[in-house]
């Protein structure tokens, strides 16, 4: 995770390199980077709204587990198994669909990011091909721009994919 964060400044170096190859290809890459950041921000807002609603139930789940572990003899003595089982079932029935919804949104976000990376390569090659035909860029420059664009987006995509884990670690 630390390496991924350390790679982030290199995306700017790669972006500058693409702008040095050709301004249009650099503009495409910059637009895609900004678009990816916008999607990430919107998806994290949506995911955080889902997580915010589950806080009370997750705390309740933790309390039930702690009670079961710390007072298992008392629970057996007074036959509280059925009561705790009912409480546990209610918690699970509430949290399971929410967790599935959250996972679906995370997968959707990752799929969108992968699609955007693929479309970036297509856009750079399409625009770059017209620039090559006009004689402003060599084929090797186009190939280099495509590779560097992928390298520029990779740290950003990796950071976005570990961002929820980092947030959970920070929030405790």
> What is residue 168's predicted lDDT score, i.e. its pLDDT?
67
CA-wise closest residue to 29 among 114, 139, 129, 149: 149
Contact status, residue 55 vs residue 21, Cβ threshold 8 Å = no
CA-wise closest residue to 142 among 158, 163, 127: 127
> What is residue 163's predicted lDDT score, i.e. its pLDDT?
78
d(CA 15, CA 30): 7
d(CA 72, CA 81): 9
d(CA 52, CA 64): 20
> What is residue 45's predicted lDDT score, i.e. its pLDDT?
81
Segment 26-48 mean pLDDT: 88
pLDDT tens-digit series, residues 125-164: 999 999 999 999 999 999 999 999 999 998 888 888 787 7
DSSP 8-state assignment for residue 79: T
**What percent of the chain has a predicted confidence (pLDDT) above 90?**
34
* 87: number of Cβ within 10 Å: 16
Largest CA distance in the chain: 86
- For residue 68, pLDDT over 80 is answered with no
CA 71 to chain centre: 40
The alpha helices in the chain, defined as continuous H runs, are 2-21, 23-70, 72-77, 81-134, 139-171
């Amino acid at each position: 995770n630390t390496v991924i964060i350390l790679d982030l400044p290199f995306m700017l170096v790669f972006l500058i390199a693409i702008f040095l190859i050709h301004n249009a290809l650099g503009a495409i890459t910059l637009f895609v980077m900004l678009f990816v950041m916008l999607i990430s921000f919107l998806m994290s807002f949506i995911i955080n709204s889902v997580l915010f609603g589950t806080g009370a139930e997750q705390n309740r789940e933790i309390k039930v587990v702690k009670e079961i572990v710390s007072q298992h003899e008392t629970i057996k003595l007074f036959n509280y198994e059925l009561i705790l089982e009912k409480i546990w079932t209610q918690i699970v029935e509430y949290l399971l669909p929410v967790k599935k919804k959250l996972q679906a949104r995370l997968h959707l976000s990752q799929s969108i990011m992968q699609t955007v990376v693929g479309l970036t390569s297509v856009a750079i090659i399409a625009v770059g091909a017209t620039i090559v035909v006009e004689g402003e860029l060599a084929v090797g420059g186009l190939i280099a721009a495509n590779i560097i664009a992928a390298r520029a987006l990779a740290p950003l995509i990796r950071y976005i994919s570990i961002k929820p884990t980092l947030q959970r670690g920070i929030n405790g």
